[in-house]
Chain A
Amino acid sequence: DQQVKQNSPSLSVQEGRISILNCDYTNSMFDYFLWYKKYPAEGPTFLISISSIKDKNEDGRFTVFLNKSAKHLSLHIVPSQPGDSAVYFCAASAWSNYQLIWGAGTKLIIKP
């Protein structure tokens, strides 16, 4: 039973345009959500997070939106750059639960 789902295995976006990566979850106990980026042969790198008390969090080119009623979050990257090409993982956790539950990842390809 996948509690965190990333339904798009890959996404191709033109350089300079907006990249939108989506994530859905089923567990209503989740209250903290994170996005990680992973390059080949490296461990995941933290990008941005959002608490369930918010619906938006921004950090430079990266913005995460949370829609609790739809159990959906998205990561927007504007503008997309070649260095953004990587696999992006969505992860979630519930208060007082120490484990992160991860999606399967979306491979983002930025075309020049």
Chain B
Amino acid sequence: DAGVTQSPTHLIKTRGQQVTLRCSPKSGHDTVSWYQQALGQGPQFIFQYYEEEERQRGNFPDRFSGHQFPNYSSELNVNALLLGDSALYLCASSLSQLAGGLTDTQYFGPGTRLTVL
């Protein structure tokens, strides 16, 4: 059973460019969350996708956008890259609880290391 996979592993971009990161959830999971982890800090919640819609968003600007496909895989897009966007981007998948609330464990991929020069 494949776990959460992310691509690419590493990425180098320059300021102002745009980037797309990809995530395939664990088999059977229908919910994908994206996190940004800066060096020496814990992950920061960007947003969560369920049923192909953004269900909740953290405190990130509109430059950060996402998409979820019918097969539950997801993309994170970042436009107009800034130096401060350099970080490890983590994708986590879980099985949504229809009653609402975070009741299922989130499983994480290995992350994509983004460097903005």
Footprint of B on A, CB under 8 Å? Answer: 4, 6, 32, 34, 36, 41-46, 49, 89, 91, 93, 95-105
Is B55 engaged at the interface, CB distance under 8 Å to the other chain?
yes
Decide if A43 touches B90 in the complex (CB within 8 Å).
Answer: yes
Decide if A43 touches B56 in the complex (CB within 8 Å).
Answer: no
Interface of B is mostly: loop
Across the interface, which residues of B come within 8 angstroms of A41, CB to CB? 110
Decide if A46 touches B45 in the complex (CB within 8 Å).
Answer: no
Q: Which bracket fits the contact residues of B?
A: 20 to 34
Decide if B42 touches A98 in the complex (CB within 8 Å).
Answer: no
Across the interface, which residues of B come within 8 angstroms of A103, CB to CB? 42
CA distance A4 to B42 in the complex (A): 10
Is B72 engaged at the interface, CB distance under 8 Å to the other chain?
no
Footprint of A on B, CB under 8 Å? Answer: 4, 33, 40-45, 48, 55-56, 58, 90, 92, 100-103, 105-111
Decide if B109 touches A102 in the complex (CB within 8 Å).
Answer: no
Decide if B102 touches A104 in the complex (CB within 8 Å).
Answer: no
Decide if A44 touches B101 in the complex (CB within 8 Å).
Answer: no
Tell me whether A98 and B90 are in contact in the complex, defined as CB-CB below 8 angstroms, given that A46-B107, A105-B42 are known contacts.
no
Decide if B33 touches A99 in the complex (CB within 8 Å).
Answer: yes
Question: Whole-angstrom distance from the CB of B69 to the nearest CB of chain A?
Answer: 19
Of A41, A46, A95, A99, chain B has the most CB atoms within 10 Å of the CB of A99
CA distance A48 to B67 in the complex (A): 30
